[in-house]
Amino acid sequence: MPDIRPLARSGPTARRIAIVAVAALITSVASSAQAQSAMSPVAGREQTADQQVHHALNRLAFGARPGDVERVRAMGVDAWIEQQLHPERITDTATEQWLTRFPTLTMSGSQFMAQYPPPGQLQRQLAMQQRGGGKVPGGTVPRGTVPGSSVAISPADSVRLRDARRATARASSELAVARTGRAVMSERQLQEVMVDFWANHFNVFAGKPQTRYYIAEYEREAIRPNALGSFRALLGAVAKSPAMLTYLDQWQSVADSGRQTLASVRQARAARMRAASANRPRGINENYARELMELHTLGVDGGYTQQDVMEVARALTGWTLSRGAGQGGSFVFRPDVHDAGAKRILGQTFPAGRGQDDGERVLDLLAAHASTAHFIATKLVRHFVSDEPPAALVDRATVVFTKTKGDIREVMRTIITSDEFFATDAYRAKVKTPFELVVSASRALGGLADPTPATAQLIARMGQPIYGRSTPDGYPDTADEWINTGAILNRMNFGLAVGANRLPGARLNQWETARTLRTEPAEVQVDGLVRALLGGDVSADTRAILLSGENPLLARAPTGSDSIFRADPDAETNDMKRMNGFPKLVGLAIGAPEFQRR
């Protein structure tokens, strides 16, 4: 158990705790939070006023843009937090305007699929057409002889295929491009952080062909509207999303043969025949039922059994798609494949014959379960406070989750206005994910959202492709999972690439800070960069190394001059060369350990 609040032990602290409690009470009332003076420090918070500003921008936003620190300081950290908790009150016209360039973002899965058919499907269609057109000899080839090439794809069709592949690839990248761009430019930063959190909590995988087309719809309709809303609503929207239904195979889960369904015997047999002819597994599939409890709600130690998994799977039979996964479709309940028998789940009896209500009741039960409150609170505290979540804060967030029936905004308010959130130990305690690293670098340099896939691909290359995690657990949220030899090398090279002007949208020569610092002496440059990129707060060693400049001895060290360090001839433009060593400093600062943390 981490020692999280050393202050809460000695005598004088008792008074402090009382004050904190009052302060917490005040901040929990939305209107009074704004009334709080911008300058008065909230008692119980260990971080300095400046640290609080940087901390809030690093955790509740994807880092500070130029000017953000001053804005938040002027408005007061608590007022800014309150504003961010209500994204609907924040105007974000520029982002909305920017997003209109991506047509697939507003499409349903069916529309998406119709417009950009999978290349394999198109290829088969073309080949079938040609076969029908008589290009292929109809008779059998003598056994044992070598057949010539059978179906040839014409040059015109090759071009069609290639174009279709490109269009599909471009369309498929739009969602990742939009996610990245939103994180860079949106004014609703906490909303974007929450989308990142929930999309990862309810992970789906774009590499699964049946799932890929539904993910834009998933993020738009299941994740975004509920990111700071009701957990039960979020859970329900995810459960009925074609993305999750296909990803965890729920759409194929049907009553085991021999079980009574809600259809006549004849209908049930027909349903099973359909399933058989479609080569689907016949019977229940536990995948979704298991992950629903293990990953989405109760947690692996949340007190459910294998029997519960099977019973939940039975309850959810019939939750499927209106058409096959390959044809586009939406959620539908199919009584003819629903297991109509009675079930017993987590100690509760589910009477026979309730149909879709079985599943709804399962979700109600899970959303309201004490293990779920604790599990979600723990994950949120881990994400927003520390890899080792302070137990007292988890407990308070759990209580709020339960009392508010899973009101995510209220749970968040408890966490991000807490003393633990603003503790010294929490400052820079989290390691940035590749997504957070790239986006925060772009924001720090006043970058514009990148409309091309380049930035999203950079994030993917660093190990975090958006919707590219194949397993249902989502990406990890602790430092030890993200930091290893290869990863840290990528991060250093990323920093140098940013300094070499290769982060799309974030050009050094368009960065106001660069314009003012480039002609200054080294000391001023280093201090200015430390302020702009590292929150004004680095060790003496770091500052000394940044300052050391073209130290002749360092330059002779073997690491710097070896042949395996490829030179990048395009890296430095003439303009950059006039910047007096400044680009390299930017590269070092972003490649430095301090910038890897938030």
Partner 1 sequence: MQRRVFLKSGAMALVTMGLSPSFLRRTVMGMSLPKAARGKTLICLFQRGAADALNVVVPFGEQAYYTARPQLAVAAPTRAAAGTGAIDLDGFFGLHPALSPFKPLYDRGVLVPVHAVGSPSATRSHFDAQDYMESATPDLKGTRSGWLNRYLATKGTCEAGCDAHASPFRAVSMTQQTPRILDGDAPVVAMNSLQEFSIRSSGGDAAARLEALYRTGKADVVHGSGSDVFEAMKMLRSANPLQYRPVTGANYPRSAFGQRLQQIAQLIKSDVGLEVAFADVGGWDTHVNQGGAQGQLAQRLGDFSQSVAALVTDLGDRMDDVVILTMSEFGRTVRQNGTSGTDHGHAGAMFVLGGNLGARQRVLGTWPGLEREQLYEGRDLALTTDFRAVFSEVTSRHLGGNALGDVFPGYEARPDAWLGLLPSA
Give the residue with the Cβ less far from partner 1, 41 or 209: 209
Task: Tell me, by CB under 8 A, how many residues bind partner 1.
Answer: 94
DSSP state of 151: S
Q: For residue 155, what are the contacts with CB-CB under 8 A and spacing of at least 6?
A: none
Backbone angles phi, psi at 549, to 5 degrees: 60, -145
Token digits of residue 192: 């974007």
CB 315 within 8 A of CB 344: no
275 binds partner 1 (CB under 8 A): no
Q: Measured from the CB atom, is 33 or 238 closer to partner 1?
A: 238
Q: Give the amino acid at 207.
A: G
Near partner 1 by CB under 8 A: residue from 75, 136, 275, 392: 136
Of 265-273, 289-297, 341-349, 510-518: span binding partner 1 (CB under 8 A): 289-297
Segment lying near partner 1 (by CB under 8 A), choices 54-62, 224-232, 355-363, 481-489 = 481-489
Taking CB under 8 A as the rule, does residue 143 contact partner 1?
yes
Give 267 or 573: the residue with its C-beta nearer to partner 1.
573
Is residue 485 a contact residue for partner 1 (CB under 8 A)?
yes
Span 244-263, contacts to partner 1 by CB under 8 A: 248-249
- Largest Cα–Cα separation, the chain: 96
- Provide the 10 A C-beta neighbour count for residue 34: 14
Is residue 81 a contact partner of residue 416, using CB atoms and an 8 Å limit?
Answer: yes
307 forms part of the interface with partner 1 (CB under 8 A): no
Residues in 371-410 at the binding interface with partner 1, rule: CB under 8 A: none
Q: Is 144 in the site for partner 1 (CB under 8 A)?
A: yes
Given a contact cutoff of 8 angstroms between Cβ atoms, the answer to whether 582 and 514 are in contact is yes
- Interaction of residue 308 with partner 1, rule CB under 8 A: no
Which class for 250: exposed (0-12), middle (13-18), buried (19 or more C-beta within 10 A)? buried
How far is it, in rounded angstroms, from Cα 424 to Cα 433?
Answer: 21
Instruction: Measure Cα distances from 164 to 124, 151, 170, 597 in Å.
Output: 13, 20, 10, 41
Name which of residues 185 to 244 contact partner 1 (CB under 8 A): 205, 207-210
Of 5-13, 14-22, 378-386, 469-477, the window that binds partner 1 (rule: CB under 8 A) is 469-477
Return the residue of 488, 510, 531, 536 that touches partner 1, per CB under 8 A.
488
Strand partners, 350: 343
Q: Which of residues 553-582 bind partner 1 (CB under 8 A)?
A: 553-569, 571-572
Q: Which stretch binds partner 1 (CB under 8 A): 40-48, 49-57, 234-242, 482-490?
A: 482-490
Q: Among residues 318 and 495, whose Cβ is nearest to partner 1?
A: 495
Task: Provide the β-strand partners of residue 348.
Answer: 345
Nearer of residues 419 and 425 to partner 1, judged by Cβ: 425
What is the distance between the terminal CA atoms of the chain, rounded to a whole angstrom?
Answer: 23
Determine the Cα–Cα distance for residues 351 and 358; give it in Å rounded to an integer: 9
Q: Does residue 99 touch partner 1 according to CB under 8 A?
A: no
